[in-house]
């Protein structure tokens, strides 16, 4: 299990070593696209990533990005 403080844009996690990645409030930084690319690198071929949006963010009518 990975429980370290490090840059989400570039981790030391092995390629294709994760089955699931969940983003919650982590995509508010300027380099959020790097986080998505890094998640894709770390995920195994038959895996998923989820982007969770809080109801507060929806209520603020922020612009959401869909992939």
CA 48 to chain centre: 11
pLDDT band at 62 (very low <50, low <70, confident <90, very high): low
Q: Residue 47 in 3-state DSSP?
A: strand
Task: Spell out the residues 6+ positions from residue 21 whose beta carbon is closer than 8 angstroms to its own.
Answer: 39, 42, 43, 47, 48, 49, 50
Highest mean pLDDT among 6-10, 23-27, 36-40, 51-55: 36-40
Whether 3 is covered by a domain: the verdict is no
Residue 55 CA, chain-centre distance (Å), reads 18
Residue 38 resides in a domain = yes
43 lies in some domain: yes
| Residue 46 domain-assigned (yes or no) | yes
* Strands 18-24 vs 43-52: parallel, antiparallel or unpaired: parallel
Q: Is 51 within a domain?
A: yes
Residue 9: inside a domain, yes or no? no
Per-residue pLDDT of 9-31, as tens digits, reads 778 889 999 999 888 777 777 78
Residue 12 within a domain: no
Query: Which residue has better confidence, 4 or 14?
Result: 14
Q: What pTM was computed for the model?
A: 0.63
* Total of domains in the chain: 1
* Position 53 confidence tier, pLDDT thresholds 50, 70, 90: confident
* Domain encompassing residue 48: 18-59
């Amino acid at each position: 299990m990975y429980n370290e403080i490090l840059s989400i844009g570039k981790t030391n996690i092995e390629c294709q070593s994760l089955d699931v990645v969940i983003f919650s409030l982590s995509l508010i930084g300027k380099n959020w696209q790097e986080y998505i690319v890094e998640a894709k690198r770390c995920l195994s071929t038959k895996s998923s990533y989820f982007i969770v949006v809080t109801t507060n963010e929806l209520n603020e009518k922020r612009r959401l990005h869909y992939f």
